[in-house]
Structure 1
Amino acid sequence: MLPPIVSQIMDNFNFDVDPTLSREENAEEVIKSAALLSGAVSIEPLPFADMLILTPLQAKMVLHIGKIYGFDITPERSSEIARELGVTVAYGMAARQFMRGMAKIALPVVGGVVTAPLVYGWTFALGRMAQTYFERKIDGLPFQAEERAQVVQEAKQQSRRVLPSSQDFSELAEELRRRAREREQGSSSAPKDIDQSQDRQH
């Protein structure tokens, strides 16, 4: 069973396009927020569970970036794009994911805190890839493999400069847990039909 933090993250990961900001600035906000949320997910002491959480979270990030650049794509299409672009980003990540899962089994909390920066950088790079993908799509240009590799390298350097502290990841994870607990308590005390109507509004 996945933790309540999952539904809390997915329900709250929604961004409006700010007309006072440029496309680049709006995309920057989405990428940093998604990367921070992904890092917070890795704090959860559940071995391998975050693999199932990160995929829809990153797909939702792609969907939002597409919206910023004027592409009203479906959630299914955003998942396809995330997988397509993620081939470059995820080079060598399978082994890292396995080691992260093993670290959580051996030492849950520390394992999550140590790997949060890796997950942040991975998501940040995927966000930059999606941003470049849509920028080039507007101009009718292809996004070649060599260009993708260059974007990843630049994103890795950028992510190190804006990397939040371990405390930032931990505090966000705790805040999401708190909200999830409040949501659960509210749901348990409300009639079932009311809960369902509220869920449809989210």
Structure 2
Amino acid sequence: MTAQNEPAEKRPDNDAAAEAAGTGTPGQGAGDHESLVAVLRAELEAAQAKAAEAHDQLLRTRADAENIRRRAQDDVSKAHKFGIESFAESLVPVKDSLEAALAQQDQTVEFLREGVEATLKQLVSAFERNRLIEIAPAAGEKFDPHQHQAISSVPSEQPANTVVQTLQKGYLIVDRVLRPALVVVSAGQQG
């Protein structure tokens, strides 16, 4: 017969519980009772110490998690605030060049053109450094609805759904479309 199937009065755990409650069997000495109480107190104190240690560890873990969350939130905030810093630094010389060009009096058309071309080179360089990429589909290229926006469709000798003309360049920032290219698309040959 197992301990679970024994009557309640014969189970060993009931004897310990009875002793702990002070209802031990008649004839037990006060010394046995006191030693049992001392053992139970020691076990209780050990369990309380272990629970306090676990609680302290929980509080530390929560504090660490909160610190990590705050740091991550600060990093995101700084990224939003200063994310365009590199791009802005690249554009400052372009603005300086434009202002210098406007400050010049009595410019020749050739001199003005050279200045505009130099400024455009600065701007293209700023775009390249900051991974701002042009979308300028050539005539005959397949229409891509993810990067192109069709303004109209015209009958053409070109196959249907190909670019006939680019009206305005588009731009990507890395792989994300900033502005789609505005294009005229071929409707195919009309018979």
TM-score, normalised relative to structure 1: 0.19
Tell me which protein shows more helix as a share of its residues: 1
Larger radius of gyration: 2
Q: Which has the higher relative contact order, 1 or 2, with Cα contacts under 8 A spaced 6 or more apart?
A: 1
